[in-house]
Structure 1
Amino acid sequence: MQPGITDAARYRLIMLIERERHDGIRDGTITVLFRRWRQRQASAGHVYRTALGRVAVDAIDVVTTAQITDADATAAGYPSAAAAIEDLRGSPGDPVYRLAIRYVPEPDPRDELAATDDLPADELADVAARLARLDRASRTGPWTEAALEIIDRRPAVRAGDLAAELGREVARFKLDVRKLKNLGLTVSLDTGYRISPRGAAYLASRAGERRPGDRQG
């Protein structure tokens, strides 16, 4: 990652890929994005997780609006350079970036990880250790257990409602849930989340640790 680009910034690209361009990016007819950013929010050589799937940024350059050609505009899904320029958001004084992109059809490794529900003891211990590290790194105290439990109890519920029940700020809660997804413990839905098979196996192991008497025949 380039200096000055935070983990949170890497996800801003996701929200800036308009839904009407998803099909074009998937089928390869759209290979360019134009963005006006005060501070660069993407890096060449990274693959970003987006609402349409995984998208690679192969190159990124600063350009002037005068350098945007009709060919570039067509590659970005616009009928002309003028239309692409007119659609730019942000302050007119901010730099304009041209991103060369491509759709990455390979499965998201997190999805494959999430589907694994047979966790040996050493892998369960590794998950527990990773969650403990996330808790220790939090400025507001431990959060992983509460987040997993509320997602398990309230699947497909808006993130804002979950955050409100936990007394948390929505954006911070969403960012934390992404960390759980990176560990393969949760799955994002159109609305809210659900616990993955891997997450369910982990929670079952935790429940067994808390109630050893329930496991006795």
Structure 2
Amino acid sequence: MSVLFKRAILEGIARGEVTLAFRRWKRPTVKAGTRLRTALGELSIGRVEAFDEASLDDESARRAGFTSLSELKGSLHDSAERLLFRIELNGIEADRRVALRTASKISAHERQAIQDRFRRWDRAARHEGYHLHVLSLIAENPATAAAELAAKLDMEKLSFKRDVRKLKELGLTESLDVGYRLSPRGHSFLNENETS
């Protein structure tokens, strides 16, 4: 993802002071209506459009969090192959995964949706029950390095981490400084799955 922001800019977005970003791309790497995860929460992306550099002005610079037009222009890497794009930033909201993983009660509909997702992922992995097994492995080995967990499954660390990220998207796991643990939602899902 080519829309990385410094902490000060993120704080400006959160306060509503920074509402634009400018990037040079061959083609946009973000789409209007999407949300990007940042250190402060989920950033809502508005309109993304090619922009004439000659139209940049002091107001553009201010709205992008710069003190001057020259500072904004200095932040843009020169490249004849890349177009300048203007990205509207619609604020930062709380990461939805945080609220999701703290909710220990899972409705029958949500449980079915998770089970359906696991089945699809398992089919793609050609390993029935694989994602539930990963969830159980994390439950049994909290705060264990990803490389060690991957070795227990005889798989590469990067592939294992990719699969754990999918569980995190569903609010079932949380990352720690070392390894992972199940969230309250993850414990609830696993416990009910084992008793059903």
Select the residue among 186, 192, 195 that pairs with 2:182. 195
1:180 aligns with 2:167: yes
Would the aligned equivalents of 2:13 and 2:92 in 1 still touch at CA under 8 Å? no
Which residue is 1:57 aligned to?
Answer: 45
Would the aligned equivalents of 2:102 and 2:184 in 1 still touch at CA under 8 Å? yes
Q: How many matched pairs?
A: 193
Amino acid of the structure 1 residue aligned with 2:184: P
Which residue is 1:4 aligned to?
Answer: none
1:85 aligns with 2:73: yes
Which residue is 2:91 aligned to?
Answer: 103
Query: In structure 1, the residue corresponding to 2:36 is in which secondary structure?
Result: strand
Which residue is 1:45 aligned to?
Answer: 33
Q: Percent identity?
A: 34
Which residue is 2:5 aligned to?
Answer: 17
Distance 1:208 1:45 in 2: 40
Superposed CA deviations along residues 132-184 of structure 1, whole A, max 9, x for unmatched, are: 1112123x756423442444323385x677557653353x5554333222322
Which residue is 1:136 aligned to?
Answer: 123
Q: Which runs of 5+ in 1 are unaligned?
A: 1-11, 210-217
- Structure 2 vs 1, CA of residues 79 and 120 (structure 1 numbering), >3 Å: closer, same or farther? closer
- After TM superposition, give the deviation of residue 131 of structure 1 in Å: 1.0
- Structure 2 vs 1, CA of residues 60 and 151 (structure 1 numbering), >3 Å: closer, same or farther? same
- After TM superposition, give the deviation of residue 21 of structure 1 in Å: 1.5
Amino acid of the structure 2 residue aligned with 1:31: T
- Structure 2 vs 1, CA of residues 66 and 120 (structure 1 numbering), >3 Å: closer, same or farther? closer
Amino acid of the structure 2 residue aligned with 1:182: E
Q: CA RMSD in A?
A: 3.2
* TM, length-normalised to structure 1: 0.71
1:117 aligns with 2:104: yes
Distance 1:90 1:145 in 2: 48
Distance 2:157 2:144 in 1: 19
Q: Which runs of 5+ in 2 are unaligned?
A: none
Would the aligned equivalents of 1:37 and 1:90 in 2 still touch at CA under 8 Å? no
Which residue is 1:70 aligned to?
Answer: 58
- After TM superposition, give the deviation of residue 45 of structure 1 in Å: 2.2
Would the aligned equivalents of 1:114 and 1:199 in 2 still touch at CA under 8 Å? yes
